[in-house]
């Protein structure tokens, strides 16, 4: 067999087997993208003319080449994380082992990051992943920037906040009722629980109410809604008909209201408002120069429930915030902050809805409905008063 026809010779087959899979990193030349099998081969390569020319090219602008290698490494690593693990919490070293299975990958020693820990910290600072350091190493969780996922997270947090506020209002109402009863000297006896024993099977059960409680309810409820309940039932058809007619008259007097017919101008205005709302209602609301409040503990207790000024908005869902108390600058996602409602008379910015991006003055605050009344200062409707705008659509302007 000739010298050049040795494709199936034992030596050629052995060389191809050795070339498969990963080789040692210290014998890899990133500039030439060449993997050597042993130390002697690597030594011969670095002394070759082609390697010397490539090194001269890299030496002319090393920052450009390192930036390109870093960008390619991040793109491939992030794609592996998104494709193989999704939004699951995973060890960073596990993702890296999955990434280097491709023998043509960009090695980390050619990038701007010295070690994997430095790259993981960079992912956290850019808001791309949630990072956590444990005894086993760094764990990362991909932050999904899908608009639907962000919208679902915001709706969940808003619902939890509304439920918490409802529970607080209920507790405050109960405490206020207890305080009012103590001031009036009304003492409600403690309940005594006894076993229910019926002496006679045909004996009727009668329920009596505390007179003080009944009198208090009569003061609170309007007379038109109160319905007297007799202690004893009667089988008289006439009495039942009279009661039925009274209840029907009461319900009719409460709920029956004359319907006012809208004018053509009012219908046109409502149609314009609806079109503006559909056009300007977005799932992102961050604006520059507004004040927001940090509502996450992932950045530490130092920033939790602290206010900051949005100085820059990135990718619509992220912002760089300058904290008011410490002047620190942090990068944070929109889902981890909320709007700030100032005092009456202060300037605000409409961050979402029909009047998105317009400045206004806060006129009134409705804590029971979580809404505000504003007067527009910019736009085509200067001086118009907008009522019942939810808290999430407005935020305080930085002075």
**Is there a contact between 111 and 73 (Cβ–Cβ < 8 Å)?**
yes
CATH architecture assignment, domain 18-142: Orthogonal Bundle (1.10)
Residues 281-320: tens digit of each pLDDT: 888 899 999 999 998 888 888 888 899 999 999 888 889 9
Residue 259 has pLDDT above 50, yes or no: no
Average model confidence (pLDDT) across the chain? 77
Q: What is the reported pLDDT for 170?
A: 78
> CB atoms < 10 A from the CB of 254, how many?
11
- Count of C-beta atoms within a 10 Å radius of residue 184: 10
- Highest mean pLDDT pick, 215-219, 251-255, 347-351: 347-351
Backbone angles phi and psi of 353, in degrees to 5: 100, -165
pLDDT of 206 higher than 70 = no
Residues across the chain:
399
Compute CA distances 167 → 154, 161, 295, whole Å: 20, 10, 19
SS3 101: coil
Q: Where are the domains of the chain?
A: 18-142, 145-182, 282-338, 341-399
Task: Look at residue 231 in the predicted model and tell me its pLDDT.
Answer: 41
Angle at 235 between CA 229 and CA 239, to 5 degrees: 60
Asked whether the whole model's pTM tops 0.75, one would answer no
What is the second-level CATH architecture of the domain 341-399?
A: Roll (2.30)
Say whether pLDDT at 242 is over 70.
no
Report, as an integer, the average pLDDT of 142-153: 68
Residue-wise pLDDT tens digits, 319-350: 999 999 888 888 888 989 999 999 999 999 99
Higher pLDDT, residue 96 or 102: 96
The dotted CATH code for 282-338 is 2.30.30.140
Average the pLDDT over 128-150 and give the result: 80
Based on DSSP, count helices (H) and strands (E) in the chain, helices before strands: 10, 15
Inform me whether the pLDDT recorded for 18 exceeds 70: no
Q: Given a cut of 90, is residue 395 above it in pLDDT?
A: yes
pLDDT higher than threshold 70 for residue 195: no
| Equal CATH topology for 18-142 and 282-338 | no
Exposure string of 59-86, with b = 16+ CB inside 10 Å and e = fewer, is eeeeeebeeebbeebbebbbebbeeebe
> Tokens at residue 254, please?
């409460």
Give the pLDDT of residue 197: 65
- Residue 234: is its pLDDT beyond 80? no
The yes-or-no verdict on residue 360 having pLDDT over 90 is: yes
Instruction: Identify the CA nearest to 30 among candidates 104, 99, 102, 110.
Output: 110
Give the mean model confidence (pLDDT) for residues 372-387: 87
């Amino acid at each position: 067999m000739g010298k050049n026809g040795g494709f199936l010779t034992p030596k050629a087959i052995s060389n191809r087997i050795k070339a498969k899979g990963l080789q040692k990193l210290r014998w890899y030349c990133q500039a030439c993208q060449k993997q050597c099998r042993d130390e002697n081969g690597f030594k011969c390569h670095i002394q070759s003319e082609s390697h010397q020319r490539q090194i001269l090219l890299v030496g002319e602008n090393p920052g450009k080449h390192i930036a390109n290698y870093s960008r390619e490494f991040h793109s491939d690593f992030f794609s592996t994380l998104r494709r193989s693990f999704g939004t699951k919490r995973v060890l960073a070293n596990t993702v890296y082992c999955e990434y280097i299975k491709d023998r043509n990958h960009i090695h980390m020693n050619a990038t701007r990051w010295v070690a994997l820990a430095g790259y993981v910290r960079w992912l956290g600072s850019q808001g791309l992943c949630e990072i956590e350091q444990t005894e086993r190493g760094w764990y990362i969780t991909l932050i999904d920037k899908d608009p639907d996922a962000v919208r679902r997270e915001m709706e969940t947090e808003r619902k939890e906040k509304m439920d918490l506020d409802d529970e607080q209002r209920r507790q405050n109402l109960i405490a206020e009722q207890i305080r009012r009863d103590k001031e009036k000297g009304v003492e409600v006896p403690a309940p005594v629980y006894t076993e229910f024993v019926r002496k006679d099977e045909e004996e009727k059960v009668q329920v009596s109410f505390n007179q003080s409680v009944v009198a208090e309810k009569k003061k609170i409820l309007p007379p038109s809604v109160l319905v007297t309940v007799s202690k004893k039932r009667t089988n008289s058809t006439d009495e039942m008909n009279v009661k039925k007619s009274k209840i029907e008259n009461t319900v009719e007097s409460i709920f029956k209201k004359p319907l006012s017919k809208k004018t053509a101008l009012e219908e046109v205005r409502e149609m314009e408002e609806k079109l503006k709302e559909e056009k300007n209602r977005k799932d992102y609301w961050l604006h520059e120069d507004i004040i927001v409040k940090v509502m996450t503990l992932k950045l530490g207790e130092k920033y939790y429930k602290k206010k900051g000024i949005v100085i820059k908005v990135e990718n619509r869902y992220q912002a760089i915030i300058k904290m008011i108390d410490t002047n620190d600058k942090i990068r944070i996602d929109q889902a981890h902050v909320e709007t700030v409602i100032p005092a009456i008379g202060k300037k605000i910015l409409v961050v979402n809805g029909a009047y998105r991006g317009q400045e206004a003055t806060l006129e009134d605050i409705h804590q029971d409905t979580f809404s505000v009344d504003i007067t527009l200062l910019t736009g085509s409707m200067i001086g118009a008063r907008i009522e019942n705008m939810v808290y999430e659509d407005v935020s305080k302007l930085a002075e």
